[in-house]
Amino acid sequence: MIDFTWYNPTRIIFGRQTHLRVGEETAVYSKKALLHYGGKSIKASGTYEEIVKSLTDSGISFVELGGVRPNPRLSLVRQGIDLCRREGVDFILAAGGGSVIDSAKAIAAGVPYKGDVWDFYTTDRKPETVLPIGVVLTIPAAGSESSDGSVITREEGPDKRSFISSLLYPRFAILNPELCYTLPKDQIGAGGADILAHVMERYFSPNEETDLSDRLCEAAMRSLIHNLPRVLENPKDYDAWAEVMWTGNVAHNGLLGKGRMEDWASHGIEHELSAVYDIAHGAGLAIVFPAWMKYVGKSHPGKMVRFAFQVFGISPEDKTEEEVIRLGICCLENFFKSLGLSVTLKDAGIGREAFDVMAQKAVMNGELGSFRPLDETDVKAIYELAE
């Protein structure tokens, strides 16, 4: 186990009807907030009205900015920054999933900054201060509700970039599994793939002697694989949704990666894919991750065999390492398919015309990953394996 420091200050408020407390939680930090959200679903479900009532009852005035899309756009972030400055907003409340939260973090960082917020995503500049952020989570997926990162897409290019700062941790995150009942199946599937990928990016590490975090990762993956089919079968299964929502948080709050090197090559490869083709991030990961495993599996076959055995129950008896690894990847692909996701670029309607450009941009800041470091040639080969 390698040395580490772990810090996560986000206060998690978990359970039934907890979103009705958002006004009193916000009042600790502000009397005027930006309510930031996505499309029509938050209004169709009634969640928007309940949040508004809670804010109003707590004496919170607010302005609002909707319209966040998957792969959140820099142009909307800039609108939010201008709106907050003009209206004297001093708190950002994100009601939605990872895209909304990432956009809210970008706005929070951009309001007090004298330059262009995109600087944080493309240079080594870090914010000195940000507006405080609160979250009402409606889609378990990205784990951004208690992470220190934000991912934004600039339409010109297009370019999808991230930045990390401990200032980006939300002050509180409200997780009510009841808010997931009306999610469409495509969002459930993509969200599940995103959660699983967050665990796998940490699990596939070159470090050995990481027994506790290995077992924690395996438990999280098995729990997700068990409970996602339950919510697809019964969208109002509170207990199953509670497991999925909590797993999504634990997958990305930093705990599972402590004491080990993390990889994140698949995320880097997928970011270029979703930047160009605007595929949902989780849906892109369902295509990229199996291809990455096929490409790097021989680098650390022991971990690949352990994954197949501990997560999917593939017994290594009477099988070669190669057979176990292949069966484990096959099980992963079949699981993604059961969620309604494509596992090849062809099935997603994506061709090879941008492979060279995507591979170049993926490694523009250096090699990707730690499990097996990847250069431009490697990344292109993974895109080809994903065809």
> What pLDDT does 196 receive?
98
pLDDT in tens, 84-130: 999 999 999 999 999 999 999 999 999 999 999 999 999 999 999 99
pLDDT in tens, 192-244: 999 999 999 999 999 999 999 999 999 999 999 999 999 999 999 999 999 99
Determine if residue 59 is left, alpha or beta; phi over 0 gives left, psi from -120 to 50 gives alpha, anything else beta.
left
The answer, yes or no, to whether residue 288 has pLDDT greater than 90, is yes
Task: Tell me the two tokens of residue 60.
Answer: 């919170």
The rounded mean pLDDT for the chain is 97
* Nearest by Cα to 129 from 108, 143, 148, 149: 108
The answer, yes or no, to whether residue 39 has pLDDT greater than 90, is no
How far apart CA 156 and CA 330 sit, in angstroms, is: 37
CB neighbours of 208 closer than 8 A, spacing ≥ 6? none
How far apart CA 166 and CA 107 sit, in angstroms, is: 15
> What pLDDT does 375 receive?
98
How far apart CA 298 and CA 284 sit, in angstroms, is: 23
> What pLDDT does 127 receive?
97
> pLDDT above 90 covers what percent of the chain?
98
The answer, yes or no, to whether residue 71 has pLDDT greater than 90, is yes
pLDDT band at 379 (very low <50, low <70, confident <90, very high): very high
Please give the CATH number for the structural domain made up of 11-179.
3.40.50.1970
Superfamily per CATH, domain 185-385: Dehydroquinate synthase-like - alpha domain (1.20.1090.10)
pLDDT (mean) for 11-17? 98
Dihedral Cα 333, 300, 308, 263, nearest 10 deg? -60
pLDDT (mean) for 27-49? 95
Please give the model's pTM, rounded to 2 decimal places. 0.96
**Helical packing angle, 265-277 and 376-385, nearest 10°:** 70
Domain ranges of the chain: 11-179, 185-385
How far apart CA 241 and CA 223 sit, in angstroms, is: 11
* Nearest by Cα to 138 from 38, 286, 11: 38
pLDDT in tens, 131-179: 999 999 999 999 999 999 999 999 998 999 999 999 999 999 999 999 9
> What pLDDT does 107 receive?
98
Cβ atoms within 10 Å, residue 164: 12
> What pLDDT does 311 receive?
98
CATH topology agreement for domains 11-179 and 185-385: no
pLDDT (mean) for 309-318? 96
> pLDDT above 70 covers what percent of the chain?
100
pLDDT band at 378 (very low <50, low <70, confident <90, very high): very high
> What pLDDT does 40 receive?
85
Q: Report the length, in residues, of the chain.
A: 387
Give the 3-state secondary structure of the chain. CCCCCCCCCCEEEECCCHHHHHHHHHHCCCCEEEEEECCCHHHHCCHHHHHHHHHHHCCCEEEEECCCCCCCEHHHHHHHHHHHHHHCCCCEEEEECHHHHHHHHHHHHHCCCCCCCCHHHHCCCCCCCCCCEEEEECCCCCCHHHCCEEEEEECCCCEEEEEECHHHCCCEEEECHHHHCCCCHHHHHHHHHHHHHHHHHHHCCCCCCCHHHHHHHHHHHHHHHHHHHHHHHCCCCHHHHHHHHHHHHHCCCCHHHCCCCCCCHHHHHHHHHHHHHCCCHHHHHHHHHHHHHHHHHHHCHHHHHHHHHHHHCCCCCCCCHHHHHHHHHHHHHHHHHHCCCCCCCCCCCCCCCCHHHHHHHHCCCCCECCCCCECHHHHHHHHHHCC
> What pLDDT does 223 receive?
98
Q: Fill in the amino acid letter for 50.
A: E
pLDDT in tens, 343-360: 999 999 999 999 999 999
The answer, yes or no, to whether residue 324 has pLDDT greater than 90, is yes
> What pLDDT does 265 receive?
98
